């Protein structure tokens, strides 16, 4: 089924691209014939027919599947285990006769139930919150469009003469009512509502940066000479916008048949599981497998003991279930969610919107950050860099000429004019001294713009444009304040200088001037110099690339822009290019070549969205955790493909929709904060996972050995539950624990690597002291406790409080060792000397260790079926605790030497 859906989507994408290519080649009459209409401007019947055939011009809204999300949040594999155990606990309590009901059993069952509800609710609310964030950022299409319908004109070929008639007939309609074949009028500020074929234009310029990454507007006209569909000169794409000029165009496709919809399909389809999702799934199944494998062993060992007991197997079942409860790290969902929420809260302070809570840890896991160029590394805004005369020096007169041209021109307000007017890099003339006489507007054939101004009754012309075109209307040049003839040597020098600056990534504009006599003419001008413009890198781009490298994260640039501009930007931000590939080269590679190329190269240019997705997937296939930072419509599929997707508050809405993290301001340094918090969150999650599973493994070993040492169970279910609850207090405090700087220095994905070895090596350390405690109680304290060694003793013949005293004694040692050793395990350094825990952890540790003494040695023990251990046992218990933490530290150091890591 999945394969069929993928083939269907691929077929749809190919159909859309083939249609665009077909319509780009058709003339006006062929377009009418293809749509089976007689003239431009649909009749009402034709509109109805198309509307019935194609539907409204809107994409299906993304819906929130409440039942499915609710089920996933509350009935995860881990929660299912807790639910089964909790149902049994309630059943066991309700089924007990009145005198055997234990309120503590009920309290334990209620606590586990609260944990299930709390964990599920937090996850569900986070999913709900993310949905509403996405809904708020849905694609904001313009509500109305100027369409020409039901005219009395029988026009089959639109030209300059009849275009005015049609434009006057344009009526504002709801964009959702557009249908293929509609004739629409586009003008300054319009958002393109569908894929449109231009049939007539008047200096139409579109901003396509959200699709192509090109900062400068592109001209759209009636004909096309390009082969790449995103570069078709007579096709306007949904979601782009008109910067200036006007045009008439035919709607080719709407809604789910547009090029935009192919990107939207990618965004709304199920997203690949991230590194953290995969890690949590592996850890969850590892813990469940551990519990399910150990519990039957405990059941068999208990039941096969040579005891005369009619209810031996029933007791074995009850005891093994209590062990299963003890083995279940019921706090895991809470610990994970709480750690990620705390990381989110810290990131949020840096003006960052986190839509997906798991993205907090994914930020700490990434080892490669891929980024678009325009709007991410760069500001996406064109800035004036320098204004120079022909000698390469600054000149006030050249500055004035450039500024006056941009100030007085009234046509197309392009980014270059805006950059000139807002810059503080050039001296500005007093514009009040000038009066505008005339203007020769910019167009893409001439590629120059001139304004004729008068000052003190003297007429002057100020011109700027493409250097070669400006040179073509000049016959002189200004050198060191003197006007000389424009010789071949000067022309070669100017062209060489222009090429040099182009190679450095600058867009170069030529500036010319002349004093006019009678006619307003663009000829025989004086070439003054150059102005260079640049898509300026963000202030923090250089710093964040350097910072991420120091934290083990490699940056790769994936852009649709050309090689020259990209190399220049990389040079600006001190980004050393190791190797560079183009999108075309990527297409021609085999899987083996691609796998090597995506590792070797760190810059990829002239990429389509498909190319970017291919690169991301190739990196992920090699076990890399990949983040992607982008802001355009074309970046949305790539954002969905990555492990963690980063976008910006002013990005296209579809990019925001696909993002996990949205940066509210321009500073990229918040990424460093997010990386640090992600790694810190994982550290404290791993402390719980690794230490808890090792501790539980040690407890199981201790229980199994104890069953062979005596007929007395070392701990009753009520004691096991109480110990878990108190231990969880310490574990919850670790949400606020400090993290060693070394842990946050390199990428940290959540993986099950070495968890088994960590458990096998560190778990039995606690068993050594548990078994020592049993032996001391059975032999050295036999007279005070009353529990003898061996399995042949009938429990019914033991002194009245012997079992309760034995249980209480092990409770002291078991809880204190399990709690105190966390100070050793929380860091790979020497605790208290080289690494201190947070105050919350220290307080929780002292409190729980105190409770390990208070519960058995005070009247509280009656509430939990314990008896006070001998007072002389206390020094022994404390000695065991001190010896245990010392041995644990030594084993930890040996483990680190062997495995080169701790958590």
Positions marked active-site: 372
Measured CA to CA, the distance from residue 434 to residue 400 in angstroms comes to: 12
Phi, psi of 590, rounded to the nearest 5 degrees: -80, 170
Positive or negative torsion for Cα 565, 566, 567, 572: positive
Q: Contact 772/809 with Cβ under 8 angstroms?
A: no
Give, in degrees to the nearest 5, the angle at Cα 489 between 514 and 442: 40
C-alpha distance across the termini of the chain, in Å: 41
Question: In sequence order, which residues have a C-beta less than 8 Å from that of residue 558 and are 6 or more positions away?
Answer: 370, 371, 372, 604, 607, 611, 612, 615, 628, 638
Positive or negative torsion for Cα 829, 832, 833, 837: positive
Measured CA to CA, the distance from residue 150 to residue 146 in angstroms comes to: 13
Phi, psi of 609, rounded to the nearest 5 degrees: -55, -35
Mapping DSSP onto H, E and C, the string for 264-309 reads HHHHHCCCCCCHHHHHHHHHHHHHHHHHHHHHHHHHHHHHCCCCCC
Quickly count: other Cβ atoms within 10 Å of residue 193's Cβ: 28
Measured CA to CA, the distance from residue 749 to residue 678 in angstroms comes to: 10
Which three-class secondary structure state does DSSP give residue 829? coil
Element (H, E) at 173: strand 171-174
What DSSP designation does 565 have? H
Distances in Å between the alpha carbon of 609 and those of 115, 449, 567, 809, 877?
A: 43, 35, 20, 66, 65
What DSSP designation does 800 have? T
Which three-class secondary structure state does DSSP give residue 406? helix
Q: Contact 820/885 with Cβ under 8 angstroms?
A: yes
Positive or negative torsion for Cα 242, 245, 248, 250: negative
Distances in Å between the alpha carbon of 872 and those of 806, 808, 862?
A: 14, 14, 21
Which three-class secondary structure state does DSSP give residue 573? coil
- Between helix 312-327 and helix 717-733 the angle, nearest 10°, is 0
Measured CA to CA, the distance from residue 291 to residue 329 in angstroms comes to: 10
Which three-class secondary structure state does DSSP give residue 451? strand
Checking 153-157 for CB contacts under 8 A at 24+ apart, the result is 153/39, 153/41, 154/38, 154/39, 155/39, 155/40, 155/41, 156/28, 156/29, 156/32, 156/38, 156/39, 156/40, 157/28, 157/29
Quickly count: other Cβ atoms within 10 Å of residue 733's Cβ: 22
Q: Contact 686/753 with Cβ under 8 angstroms?
A: no
Q: Contact 48/194 with Cβ under 8 angstroms?
A: no
64-94 residues labelled b (16+ CB within 10 A) or e (exposed): eeeeeeeeebbebebbebbeebbeebbebbe
Question: In sequence order, which residues have a C-beta less than 8 Å from that of residue 147 and are 6 or more positions away?
Answer: 170, 171, 173, 178, 182, 183, 184, 185
Of 737, 648, 642, 743, the C-alpha closest to 684 is: 737
Q: Where are the alpha helices (DSSP H) in 356-395?
A: 359-365
């Amino acid at each position: 089924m999945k394969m069929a859906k993928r083939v269907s989507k691929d077929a749809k994408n190919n159909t859309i691209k083939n249609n665009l290519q077909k319509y780009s080649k058709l003339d006006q009459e062929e377009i009418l014939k293809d749509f089976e209409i007689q003239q431009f401007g649909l009749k009402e019947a034709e509109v109805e027919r198309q509307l019935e055939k194609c539907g409204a011009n809107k994409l299906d809204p993304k819906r929130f599947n409440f039942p499915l999300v609710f089920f996933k949040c509350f009935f995860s594999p881990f929660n299912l285990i807790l639910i089964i155990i909790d149902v049994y606990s309630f059943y066991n309590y309700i089924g007990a006769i009145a005198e055997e009901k234990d309120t503590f059993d009920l309290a334990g069952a209620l606590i586990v139930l609260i944990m299930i509800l709390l964990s599920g609710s937090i996850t569900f609310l986070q999913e709900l919150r993310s949905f509403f964030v996405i809904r708020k950022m849905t694609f904001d299409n313009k509500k109305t469009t100027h369409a020409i319908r039901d005219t009395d004109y029988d026009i089959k070929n639109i030209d300059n003469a009849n275009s005015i008639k049609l434009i006057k007939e344009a009526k504002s309609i709801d964009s959702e009512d557009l249908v293929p074949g509609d004739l629409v009028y586009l003008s300054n500020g319009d958002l393109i509502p569908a894929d449109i074929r231009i049939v007539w234009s008047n200096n139409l310029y579109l901003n396509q940066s959200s699709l192509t990454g090109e900062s400068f507007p592109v001209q759209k006209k009636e004909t096309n000479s390009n082969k790449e569909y995103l570069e078709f000169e007579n096709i306007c794409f949904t979601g782009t916008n008109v910067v200036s000029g006007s045009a008439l165009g035919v709607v080719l496709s709407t809604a789910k048949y547009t090029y935009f919809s192919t990107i939207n399909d990618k965004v709304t389809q199920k997203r690949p599981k991230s590194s953290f999702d995969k890690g949590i799934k592996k850890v969850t199944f590892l813990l469940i497998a551990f519990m399910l494998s150990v519990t039957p062993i405990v059941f068999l060992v208990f039941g096969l003991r040579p005891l005369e007991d009619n209810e031996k197997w029933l007791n074995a079942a009850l005891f093994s279930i209590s062990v299963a409860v003890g083995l279940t790290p019921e706090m895991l969902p809470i610990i994970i969610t709480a750690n990620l929420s705390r990381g989110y809260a810290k990131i949020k302070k840096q003006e960052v919107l986190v839509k997906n809570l798991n993205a907090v840890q994914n930020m700490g896991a990434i080892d490669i950050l891929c980024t678009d160029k325009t709007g991410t590394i760069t500001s996406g805004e064109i800035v004036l860099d320098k204004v120079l005369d022909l000698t390469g020096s600054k000149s006030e007169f050249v500055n004035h000429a450039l500024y006056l041209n941009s100030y007085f021109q009234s046509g197309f307000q392009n980014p270059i004019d805006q950059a000139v007017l807002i810059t503080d890099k050039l001296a500005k003339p007093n514009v009040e001294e000038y009066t505008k006489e005339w203007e020769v507007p910019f167009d893409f054939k001439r590629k120059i713009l001139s304004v004729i101004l008068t000052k003190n009754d003297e007429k002057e012309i100020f011109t700027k444009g493409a250097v070669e075109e400006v040179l073509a209307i000049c016959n002189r040049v200004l050198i060191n304040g003197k006007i000389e003839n424009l010789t071949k040597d000067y022309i070669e020098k100017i062209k060489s200088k222009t090429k040099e600056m182009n190679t450095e990534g600058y867009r170069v504009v030529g500036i010319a001037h002349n004093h006019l006599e009678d006619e307003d003419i663009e000829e025989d001008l004086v070439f003054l110099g150059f102005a260079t413009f640049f898509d300026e890198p963000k202030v923090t781009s250089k710093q964040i690339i350097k910072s991420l490298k120091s934290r083990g994260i490699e940056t790769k640039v994936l852009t649709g822009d050309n090689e020259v501009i990209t190399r220049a930007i990389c040079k600006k931000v001190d980004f050393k290019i190791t190797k560079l590939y183009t999108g075309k080269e990527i297409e021609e590679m085999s899987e083996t070549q691609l796998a090597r190329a995506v590792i070797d190269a760190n810059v990829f240019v002239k990429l389509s969205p498909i190319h970017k997705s291919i690169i991301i997937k190739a990196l992920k296939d090699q076990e890399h955790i990949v983040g992607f930072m982008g802001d355009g419509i074309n970046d949305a599929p790539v954002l969905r493909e990555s492990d963690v997707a980063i976008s910006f508050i002013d990005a296209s809405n579809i990019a925001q929709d696909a993002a996990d993290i949205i940066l509210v301001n321009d500073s990229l340094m918040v990424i460093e904060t997010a990386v640090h918090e992600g790694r810190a969150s994982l550290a404290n999650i791993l402390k719980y996972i690794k230490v808890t599973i090792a501790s539980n493994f040690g407890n199981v070993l201790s229980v199994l050995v104890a069953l062979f040492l005596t007929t007395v169970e070392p701990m009753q279910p009520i004691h096991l539950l109480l110990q878990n609850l108190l231990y969880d207090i310490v574990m919850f405090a670790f949400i606020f624990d400090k993290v060693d700087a070394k842990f946050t220095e390199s990428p940290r994905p959540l993986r099950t690597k070495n968890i088994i070895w960590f458990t096998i090596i560190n778990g039995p350390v606690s068993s050594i002291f548990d078994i020592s405690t049993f032996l001391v109680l059975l032999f050295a304290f036999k007279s005070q406790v009353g529990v003898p060694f061996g399995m042949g003793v009938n429990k019914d013949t033991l002194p009245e409080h012997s079992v309760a005293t034995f249980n209480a004694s092990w409770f002291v040692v078991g809880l204190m060792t399990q709690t105190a050793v966390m100070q050793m395990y929380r860091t790979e350094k020497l605790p208290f000397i080289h690494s201190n825990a947070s105050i919350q952890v220290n307080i929780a540790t002292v409190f729980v260790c105190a409770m390990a003494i208070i519960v058995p040695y005070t009247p509280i023990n009656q509430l939990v079926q314990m008896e006070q251990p001998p007072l002389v046992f206390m020094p022994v218990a404390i000695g065991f605790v001190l010896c245990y933490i010392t041995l644990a530290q030594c084993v930890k150091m040996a483990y680190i030497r062997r495995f080169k890591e701790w958590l």
